[in-house]
Chain A
Amino acid sequence: MRKMETTTPVEQQAPSARVVTSVRSAGEDEGAVNPTVFDIENLSVFYGEFKAVRDVSLAIEERKITAMIGPSGCGKTTVLRCLNRMNDLIESARVEGRVQYHGIDLYDTQVDPVEVRRRIGMVFQKPNPFPKSIYENVAFGPRIAGFKGDMDELVDQSLRKAALWDEVKERLKESAMGLSGGQQQRLCIARAIAVEPDVILMDEPASALDPIATGRIEDLMQEIKQEFTIVIVTHNMQQAARISDMTAFFTAEVSEQNDRRTGVLVEYDKTEKIFTNPSNERTENYVTGRFG
């Protein structure tokens, strides 16, 4: 009974959410408040005894780009990895507080992390294509999910959405390891898109790329935002200002007892406000370059 309650809402809400997109016209009123995808309440994350993040609360809206910025060690990546239970892979990691996804507690014992990650995809800091062909990289996710449709068509569509199709259409059977860094990262985005997730998490997706490749990734994010909710962690403030709708500024507080750093959320608001008129002095110091 309990299992039914926790799993069915995900099944129902994600597709219905997608229907809403098709009704909305592209670029419609950026300032509107969209339905909430993630509701994070008092999230704290521990690695063993070490508290990496403390009491983070924020709500992430559907089909917007939410950026998480802040200095190194502020816990932004840790928070991001809580959103698809990627921290489960780290033995010592432990989570307190609540992360609700469409109203479901992601850390409920009945929730299967594999199912979570199928809906909430991830793109990593360093491009990490599989040492397989370009085609197989994209087909991997749908295949393990039991996709029965036209795989060629799905690979084609995913690569087009990731703005990679024209560059690779002649060499789908060649190894993905032969692509440039920027192409590899777009392949990783295509791979994530292919499983038709609801959300795509991006952990500094452009930090290993040159400015031109970075620009292409940023353009791509603007395109796919019509279809997916995007949460991006970035070191690059200009990037956050350019691409995101909402920005969360994190910082690290140094404990006086043991000199260890714990991440806290300082301010969360519309990107424009964070960069032009932040409410918190620490945010202002950071975005104006006086700190960090």
Chain B
Amino acid sequence: MRTFQAAAVVSIVVSALIVFSLIGRAVSFVTEVDLSDLAAGGWFPRRSMFGLPTILTGSVIVAGIAMLVAAPLGLGAAIYLAEYARPRVRKVIKPVLEILAGIPSVVVGVFALSWISPQIIGRLSGDAGLFNMAAAGIGVGVLVTPLVASVAEDSFRAVPMSLREASYGLGAKKRSTTTKIVFPAAISGVVASIILGISRAIGETMVVLIVAGGTGGAEFSLNPFNAGQTMTGAMAALARGSDQVRGADQAFPSLFFVGLLLFLITLSLNVVSERYVRRVRQKY
């Protein structure tokens, strides 16, 4: 019992230390940097341009495209698995989905660069370069789909059989039972799955680093077919040293500021989704 307690304490202490070190260095970055640099028209740490709008919109665009892929695919798969698949089919598909969730993100990143970008984005827009935010978004969407599917499926399966029977007993077809009874009854779980998906998509790094084209810096852009930088991509490039240069003293500390920002965003998303999940457990 002592050992488990120690393990719990250590993990909490480590988390707290991470947050404290983030806060400390983030604060020193903000106090030392020229605040107008934070509103620069691009993210070029080597030139002391820390344009937060650039990486914030980059994250939103990539996560948004990711969810355009992951929400319909994930929810569709969840409905199929929970409501339509025969037990035998389910026994095969469910583990496949779980394996998909285990694919290393670097593999998806390479796939996004070698196939999604030229084959899908290249065909959608002739102007798009090989490195662009849209390809990164689709790649992240592929990564996030199993998570959305799994959380949503759990919430569909948590809807009691008796509600489906009541619906069938009133002469409802399978389709109306699924869309008008099961789906609304599981709505908090569905929302939770989407929020968790967004949180995961914003936090995803490797695919963005490989294919979004932000290493070395990026101009502010709202066009997903352009190269761009996200918060995570910016952090990775800084940490690796590729976005640093002698003389740009603020480049490295900016890493902690962005890290804190990212931490706060994903934390609040997770708290919100946790609340929804709890609501789904209380019902019926």
Contact = CB atoms under 8 A, between A and B. Distances in A.
A54 B185 CA distance: 38
Contact of B171 (A89, A124, A188, A195): A195
Contacts of B184: 131-132
B163 interface: yes
B27 interface: no
B171 A114 contact: yes
A121 B283 CA distance: 26
A191 B86 contact: no
Contacts of A166: none
Interface in B165-198: 165-173, 176, 180-181, 184-185
A223 interface: no
Of the candidates A130, A177, A188, the one having the most CB atoms from chain B within 10 angstroms of its own CB is A130
How many residues of A sit at the interface, in one of the four size bands? 20 to 34
A128 B168 contact: no
A191 B165 CA distance: 13
Contacts of B167: 130, 140
A192 B172 CA distance: 12
B160 A195 contact: no
Contacts, number: 70
Of the candidates A117, A121, A128, A188, the one having the most CB atoms from chain B within 10 angstroms of its own CB is A128
A223 to B, nearest CB: 21
A191 B172 CA distance: 13
B162 A114 contact: no
Of the candidates A115, A119, A129, the one having the most CB atoms from chain B within 10 angstroms of its own CB is A129
B174 to A, nearest CB: 9
B95 interface: no
B169 A84 contact: yes
Interface in A187-202: 188, 191-192, 195
A122 interface: yes
A168 interface: no
B135 to A, nearest CB: 41
Contact of A144 (B160, B171, B284): B171
B146 to A, nearest CB: 26
B176 A144 contact: yes
B247 interface: no
Contacts of A130: 163, 166-167, 181, 185
Contacts of B126: none
B185 to A, nearest CB: 5
A128 B165 contact: yes
Contact of A145 (B162, B163, B168, B171): B171
Given A91-B87, A131-B185, A126 B172 contact: no
Nearest to B173: A114
Nearest to A137: B166
Of the candidates B87, B168, B170, B180, the one having the most CB atoms from chain A within 10 angstroms of its own CB is B170
B283 A122 contact: no
Interface in B222-251: none
A86 B170 contact: no
A128 B170 contact: no
Given A128-B163, A128-B165, A132-B184, A121 B86 contact: no
A16 B212 CA distance: 70
Given A86-B165, A177-B283, 14 more contacts: A114-B171, A118-B171, A119-B171, A121-B170, A124-B162, A130-B166, A131-B185, A131-B284, A132-B184, A140-B180, A140-B181, A177-B284, A191-B166, A191-B170
6 shortest interchain CB distances as A-B pairs: A118-B171, A141-B170, A122-B169, A128-B162, A117-B171, A128-B166
5 contacts: A86-B168, A89-B165, A91-B86, A117-B171, A131-B284
Interface of A: 84, 86, 89, 91, 114-115, 117-119, 121-122, 124, 126, 128-132, 140-141, 144-145, 177, 188, 191-192, 195
